[in-house]
A and B are shown apart, each in its own frame.
Chain A
Amino acid sequence: MINVQNLSKHYKIAKRDPGLRGAIKSLLYRKYEIKEAVKGIDFQIEAGEMVGYIGANGAGKSTTIKMLTGILTPTSGEVKVNGIIPYENRQKNASHIGAVFGQRTQLFWDIPVRESYELLKHIYEIPQKQYEETLAEFVEVLHLEPLLGIPVRQLSLGQKMRCELAAAFLHRPKVVYLDEPTIGLDVAVKVRIRNFIKQMNARYGTTVILTTHDMQDIEEICQRIIIIDDGTVIYDGSIDRIKSQFGDKRVIHFELENASHFTLPGRLVHDAEILPKEEEDPHKVSITFSSKDITGAEVISIIMNHYPVVDLTIADPKIETIVEEIYGKGMKKEVRHEEVF
């Protein structure tokens, strides 16, 4: 369905000195800086797959999605969606895809939701009967009935997002790009949205590309994840695989009476490590280890023998922690991760 080969995108960014002087100077001449947002990535996505496309801010996610949708022209490399080269045949590609951008609205601001859908019906040339069926189904699943008569600008974020989602799937697209579809939403709405996406995939075989920072979304919806960092793909595979490879990772957070001079006790030096502190708190220490080397109970008992422990929490081996480690600070330091890729 989606075929990406050695895809790159470079931006030319005008550099400007700060302040008014810089602004005037930039009128006369500009310095440019080349930013490589995407550096030769490859992946294939089959029809009906639900793929999480994740990476830190600025890793190149949005740029890739924009090339897949045909908005951006790649600097080099090949991209094909459903047999079409998106940037060459943008409008044709557009009729087979749907998209939700959590930060932007694609409904029509001034008119009621129902009218927006009517307009979409014409835009995507949906047959009347199919339109009625689909809309009736969406109204039920997403509970849209009370919203249909309200202009989009008056909807709350959660209401709007439900409407956006229906809009993206209304023409039964083959591929749907979801960019942060659950950003800023409460748990109940998130659950409803996730269920809706899964249902669409099951019923129409829609291919879903999901970019999000919400790992819960990924775990619930996707079977496969592609992790991108600094413009290159650093992991592409099933969630289960990454979990089993990193699943032995454990993190225990200790709260001590005084942790300012904390060092690992002798017995732990080989099997565990101190995680860098996220916040400056003299009482807290986080220790990471592999359950293959040592059990959690042992770590706790050793620490408790050496330091007065006030409280402790054991972090789950969640995909979230794993991913955080892969593209966070851990990545560069830990050599052990390399065997995964």
Chain B
Amino acid sequence: MRKYFEFARVQMQVHAAYSAWFWANTLSVLLRMLVIYFFWSAVYSNRANIEGLPFKGMITYIIIAMFLQMFVSGVGKELAHTIKDGNVAIELMRPYHLITRLIAMDMGDKVIYFIRGALPLGILAYFFLDVTFPQTWLSGILFLLSALLGIWIGTFFDLLIAILAFWTINLWGLEVMKEAVVSFFSGALVPLILFPEWFQTVSLFLPFQAMVYVPVAIYTGILTGTDVWMALGSQFIWACLLFVSLRVLWSVAIKKVTIFGG
């Protein structure tokens, strides 16, 4: 266990080495937040609510979802890259589980991102952009639980796609498509309640809404009562399902591995 913790720690350290890049990233998130704010102010200028959601609720949803979306993508890119350039050979010769190692590093990334990005920007959003806290303590706590499950699902889904690099070698197209599908179906762009009925039904059976929509809907009170528990239950099932399929796919993949480049 200790070694994986060390990986997370080193990853945090690496971030310290690239701080210019980090601040550029934070700045771009800040700009996106402002654009979103003014866009939705304009949309709401003639009406009090959309699909039962007032302006404050909407802006809270959109901004929290934006933060959360940054946590749900994982280290799939790194894994795919390692496979493609053949360095997976060296990784496989080490006494650790590569996937666990990548997840540990990802956790390091996310901790740093939380401390240096999401937290200060969240506070900023609270004071200047009408973002509100959850209405009850319970929904706050359930949000945290649901967000962790969502991050778990996102991370595992990302790695699952990346393992396909063992077969396809190049993964760029698939990654791009995955990004598009995730931001659309996960509710990271707008709450799923704005979409037509049939779309909502379809996405109910997909893992994507469990990544962003469910936790943020709990936060903003779009989901209440028994719906919350149902949603958490389905998140939990997805989390287990993805965990198992990742393990299976990984063991299949490394059995038939061909290391590229000699």
- Nearest chain B residue, comparing its CB with the CB of A97: B93
Task: Decide yes or no whether B224 CB sits under 8 A from chain A.
Answer: no
Beta-carbon nearest neighbor of A151 in chain B: B17
Instruction: Say whether B229 faces chain A, with CB atoms less than 8 Å apart.
Output: no
Binds B, one of A99-107, A134-142, A212-220, A278-286: A99-107
Q: Which of B167-222 contact A (CB under 8 A)?
A: none
Q: Which residue of A lies closest to B13 (CB)?
A: A111
A145 on the B face (CB < 8 A): no
The complex places the Cα of A94 from the Cα of B3 at a distance, in Å, of 15
Find out whether the CB atom of B10 lies under 8 angstroms from the CB atom of A92. Answer: no
Q: Which of B41-49, B84-92, B241-249 contacts A (4 or more CB under 8 A)?
A: B84-92
Given contacts A72-B257, A72-B259, contact A119 B93 (CB under 8 A): no
B225 within 8 A of A: no
Say yes or no: is A66 at the interface (Cβ < 8 Å to chain B): yes
| Distance from B66 Cβ to chain A, minimum over Cβ atoms (Å) | 28
Please pick, from A71, A103, A108, A151, the residue contacting B93 in the complex, using a CB distance under 8 A: A71
Q: How far is the CB of A233 from chain B (nearest CB, A)?
A: 20
Q: Does A124 contact B (CB under 8 A)?
A: yes
Residue numbers in B under 8 Å from A115 (CB-CB): 10, 13
Complex-state Cα separation, A329 to B258, whole angstroms: 30
Interface string of A243-275 (1 = CB under 8 A from B): 000000000000000000000000000000000
How many angstroms from the CA of A161 to the CA of B92 in the assembled complex?
Answer: 20
B259 x A123 contact (CB < 8 A)? no
In the complex, which residues of chain A have a beta carbon less than 8 angstroms from the beta carbon of B259? 66, 71-72
Please tell me if A3 contacts chain B, counting CB pairs below 8 Å.
no
Instruction: Give chain A interface residues in 7-28, CB to chain B under 8 Å.
Output: 11
With A104-B89, A111-B10, A111-B14 known as contacts, the answer to whether A71 contacts B3 (CB < 8 A) is no
Q: Determine if B227 is an interface residue (Cβ-Cβ < 8 Å).
A: no
B257–A71 contact, CB under 8 A? yes
B116 / chain A contacts, CB cutoff of 8 Å: none
| A90 at interface, CB cutoff 8 A | yes
Distance of A265 Cα from B2 Cα, bound (Å) = 75
**A residues in contact with B7, CB < 8 Å:** 119
Interface string of B1-27 (1 = CB under 8 A from A): 011001100100110011000000000
Counting CB contacts under 8 A, is A82 at the interface? no
Q: A119-149 interface mask toward B, CB cutoff 8 Å, 1 = contact, 0 = none?
A: 1001111000000000000000000000000
Residues in A neighbouring B257, C-beta threshold 8 A: 71-73
User: Can you name the residue of chain A whose Cβ is closest to the Cβ of B90?
Assistant: A106
How many interface residues does B have (CB within 8 Å)? 26
Cross-chain contact of B95 among A91, A101, A103, A118 (Cβ < 8 A): A91
Inside 8 A of B262's CB, which chain A residues have their CB?
62, 103
Complex contact B10–A99 (CB within 8 A):
no
Contact of A70 among B17, B86, B92, B256 (CB under 8 A): B92
Is A69's CB under 8 angstroms from B93's CB?
Answer: yes
Please state if B87 and A104 are interface contacts (CB–CB under 8 Å). yes
Inter-chain CA distance A281–B86, complex, in Å, is 41
The reply to whether A99 and B96 form a contact with Cβ atoms under 8 Å apart is no
Report chain A residues within 8 Å CB of B89: 66, 71, 101, 104
Q: Tell me whether B93 and A110 are in contact (CB under 8 A).
A: no
Verify A70–B95 contact, CB threshold 8 A.
no
Given A11-B258, A123-B3, decide whether A91 and B96 contact each other with a Cβ distance below 8 A.
yes
A95 at the interface (CB under 8 A from B): yes
What's the nearest-Cβ distance from chain B to residue A154, in Å? 12
**Contacts of A123 on B, CB cut-off 8 Å?**
3, 6, 94-96
Option from A95, A97, A101, A122 in Cβ contact (under 8 Å) with B2: A122
Q: Given that A111-B10, A122-B3 are known contacts, is A94 also in contact with B93, CB under 8 Å in the complex?
A: yes
Closest to A58 in B: B262
0/1 string, A74-118, CB within 8 A of B gives 1: 000000000000000011101101010101101010110001001
CA distance A104 to B2 in the complex (A): 26
In angstroms, Cα B10 to Cα A151, docked, is: 13
Residue on A with the closest CB to B5?
A: A122
Q: A94 contacts which chain B residues (CB < 8 A)?
A: 92-95
The reply to whether A95 and B86 contact each other, CB–CB distance below 8 Å, is no
A residues within 8 A CB of B17?
110-111, 151
C-alpha spacing A302/B128, complex, angstroms: 99
B97 at interface by CB-CB < 8 Å: yes
A97 to B92 Cα, complex, angstroms: 12
A contact residues around B14 at 8 Å (CB): 110-111
A–B Cβ pairs within 8 angstroms, 15 of them: A62-B262, A66-B259, A71-B92, A73-B256, A97-B93, A99-B93, A103-B261, A106-B90, A118-B6, A119-B7, A122-B2, A122-B3, A122-B6, A125-B3, A151-B17
3 tightest Cβ-Cβ pairs between the two chains A and B = A95-B95, A94-B95, A122-B6
Residues of chain A having any CB pair with chain B under 8 Å: 11, 62, 66, 69-73, 90-92, 94-95, 97, 99, 101, 103-104, 106, 108, 110-111, 115, 118-119, 122-125, 151
Residues in B lying within 8 Å of A, measured CB to CB? 2-3, 6-7, 10, 13-14, 17-18, 86-87, 89-90, 92-97, 255-259, 261-262
